[in-house]
Amino acid sequence: MQNFGSVVSGLVFAAAAAWSPGWGAYGQEGAAGRLAPDADAIARVASGGVREARASWWGFDPEDATAALQAAIDSGVPKLTVDRMPGPWVVTPIRLVSNQEIVFESGVEVLAKEGAFLGTNESLFAATNVENITLTGPGATLRMRRSDYADPERYRKAEWRHCLSIRSSRGIKVFGLTLAESGGDGVYLGTATKGVTNRDIHIRDVVCDRNYRQGISVITAENLLIENTVLKDTDGTAPRAGIDFEPNHPEERLVNCVLRHCVSEGNGGAGYTFYVRPLRFESEPLSVRLENCRASGNRGAAFAFTTGDTLEGAVDGQVELVDCVFASGTGPCFSVAKPAERCGIRAVRCEFLDQAPEAPQPAPIVLSSRQDADAPAGGVHFVDCVVRDAVERYPMMYVDRGGGIPLSGIEGTLVLVRGGERSTVALSKEVLARWVPITAMTLYPRLEIGGMGLRPLGEATPEQCAFAFAQVRREGRFLLFARAGERVRLRAAHAQVGHYDGRPAPVVITAAAGKEAARGEVPFQGEAEIAFTAPETGVYRVQADPDRNRLAFVASTHPLNLAGEKGPIRLIRAAGTYYFHVPAGTEAFGVRISGEGVGEAIRATLLNPRGETVHDADDAVQTQQFEVILPEPSRGETWSLRLSRPGTMAWEDHSVDLRGIPPLLAPSPEALLVPAGGR
């Protein structure tokens, strides 16, 4: 009996031969699936006599159809149909041109060529500084090879191999396509020319499936409409969201961006995330609207919104969420971290559904302040929103990572549904005081280190100087002491965090006068030594930048201290005992510790010079301050802070902020740098 699949394939092949003039022109090559170009048809297109063409007129090679498809596009024909062939159109990167409609027939698959796309920014289709392009393809798929790009022996690790890259372009329409298995995003909306945003972009009836970084990334766009689009099963490297609005620079913009009837599900990160920290108050105000959108089964928050921490550093604007359903996966339903006075959020008739009672978050709605916040957090108006939650808890919580930052501008009504009971609650001051109490903190200053004349407390051995347990994240600032003519050696280890991609971490060492003393790089997931001969006696600044990953100085010949004069010291899984100095004359000080938002905590124990526990906090998520009021002024003492794994919560990012005392942490008392005369 003849195989049914063979019959269907033969029928498709025969149908193609009937309408494509090239099919009858080849012999043995034709039997192998190759199609020769149709010179007459191509000539008619070149003369301008034909307004519609088929890509197969330029030929077809099942092993590599790049030349044919690119030539068809480059012809500039106003309407180009990409035919369904016996196999996929296997291609290397394709460039789109202005003023063209491309129709992908149902069943067409454009497939990234295996072993190609070696460049870290090579996308399957790229629209760069172009305009007026329509890509239509219900039932058609643009597919890359996500699993291939994860092989470090074949590819340099990257997150920018997109199915469709749109940069500094306008009038782009994408209808009906499935964009799958990219090495980056299904769709990327970025810049090719500084300051030139994407404008008038319409995405409709699209499926972004199993992409590596994001279903869609929106870096900059004005007049963006996304409708009836499914964003699912993103996984690979962070943020792993369904859709991520994340500008890179203050001059970029998110203006009149509308999502309607979209679904974000099963993604490794958030469903809908807005990480707009690079935008500032002077940036163009943000305007975003989500209508009838749904999120479910995502491993991050269903909806997450984050601006800069300060009033100056946070963009203004308006976000509207209307008739949306945000269901939790392993993150909260709704997470917002921003100043109350910036970028108001209005949620109208939305539903927040907690669907993970076996692993509940602290609350379905989570509001936060960030560590450098300088004004009240909040600014969210709820209009008849429903919270469905099977867990007995408050529907809302506040994570105060700024320390004593009040909550403001939380208004409206919530309808609470639990166990068949339904109640409507107005968000009054009394209700909020019960749901989200604010802990007041004494504000001790963060001291400047310059001018202290720092010296080591003792004669430290290299073993006492090593700081391997102090793993820094994003950026590490250290101080090192050396005498003129001494040979200084540091060994650093650079390790991966989660699925984040990495690159060599720069290390720069400068002398007190600001002159560079040494520079080096630490390979990603490797180690390196940075060595130099000290040109002068004194304190050297050491700055290391592991970006999203982590770095530690596993060996040092000289005293090395973590420095927090510019902000909290950011650490990751950095269990150990840290020593710090309380100068003579100090009457009171504060030690602030914090986890990283919802779900990431730390245990911290503060010990006095006699090794006695003064304060202890476990499962610390938001900022807590260990306040110490001394019975008599300090004579110059060494205290310690022990950090360890939290008792019940996840352990990853955390931070330490010393207030009212020198913001320096050392791996041993002997390696501690103290002000001159501080012994």
Residue-wise pLDDT for 145-162, tens only, equals 999 998 888 998 889 999
Confidence of residue 10 (pLDDT cuts 50, 70, 90): very low
Look at residue 515 and tell me if it is in a domain. Answer: yes
Mean pLDDT of 526-554: 95
| Domain stop point among 439, 471, 492 | 439
- Say whether pLDDT at 217 is over 80: yes
| Alpha-carbon dihedral sign for residues 385, 388, 394, 400 | negative
Residue 175 or residue 150, greater confidence: 175
**DSSP type of residue 161:** B
- Residues 414 and 496 grouped into a single domain: no
pLDDT for res 442: 87
pLDDT for res 357: 56
Look at residue 256 and tell me if it is in a domain. Answer: no
Give me the torsion for CA of 407, 408, 414, 420, rounded to 10°: 10
Residue 613 or residue 595, greater confidence: 613
- Residues 435 and 517 grouped into a single domain: no
Q: Which of 72-81, 329-338, 431-440, 595-604 has the lowest mean pLDDT?
A: 595-604
**DSSP type of residue 24:** G
Spatial distance between the Cα atoms of 553 and 556, rounded to a whole number of angstroms:
7
Kindly report the length of the chain.
679
Confidence of residue 251 (pLDDT cuts 50, 70, 90): very high
- Residues 435 and 461 grouped into a single domain: no
Q: Return the number of other C-beta atoms located less than 10 Å from residue 14's C-beta.
A: 10
Q: Which two tokens stand for residue 435?
A: 């749901």
Spatial distance between the Cα atoms of 316 and 313, rounded to a whole number of angstroms:
10
- Residues 349 and 429 grouped into a single domain: yes
- Residues 528 and 627 grouped into a single domain: yes
Spatial distance between the Cα atoms of 163 and 609, rounded to a whole number of angstroms:
59
The total of structural domains in the chain comes to: 2
Q: Which two tokens stand for residue 310?
A: 């300060």
- Of 142, 73, 127, nearest to 101 by C-alpha is 73
500 contacts 238 by C-beta, under 8 angstroms: yes
Q: Is 63 exposed, middle or buried (0-12, 13-18, 19+ CB in 10 A)?
A: exposed
Residue 261 Cα distances to 27, 203, 345, 558, angstroms? 50, 12, 19, 60
pLDDT for res 374: 85
- Residues 604 and 631 grouped into a single domain: yes
- Residues 598 and 560 grouped into a single domain: yes
Spatial distance between the Cα atoms of 661 and 93, rounded to a whole number of angstroms:
57
pTM over 0.85: no
Average pLDDT, the chain: 91
Give me the torsion for CA of 307, 310, 314, 317, rounded to 10°: 100
Look at residue 151 and tell me if it is in a domain. Answer: no
- Residues 433 and 516 grouped into a single domain: no
| Domain stop point among 382, 409, 439 | 439
| Domain stop point among 408, 439, 470 | 439
Q: Which two tokens stand for residue 561?
A: 């201290």
Spatial distance between the Cα atoms of 643 and 629, rounded to a whole number of angstroms:
22
- Residues 633 and 544 grouped into a single domain: yes
pLDDT for res 19: 37
Spatial distance between the Cα atoms of 360 and 599, rounded to a whole number of angstroms:
10
- Residues 353 and 316 grouped into a single domain: yes
Q: Which of 355-369, 430-444, 488-502 has the lowest mean pLDDT?
A: 355-369
- Residues 421 and 494 grouped into a single domain: no
Residue 592 Cα distances to 328, 445, 637, angstroms? 31, 12, 19
3-state SS of the chain: helix, strand, coil percent to 5? Answer: 10, 45, 45
276-321 pLDDT, tens digit per residue, is 999 999 999 999 999 999 999 999 999 999 999 999 999 999 999 9
Domain that holds residue 317: 296-439
Look at residue 541 and tell me if it is in a domain. Answer: yes
Look at residue 196 and tell me if it is in a domain. Answer: no
Spatial distance between the Cα atoms of 27 and 124, rounded to a whole number of angstroms:
31
- Residues 560 and 618 grouped into a single domain: yes
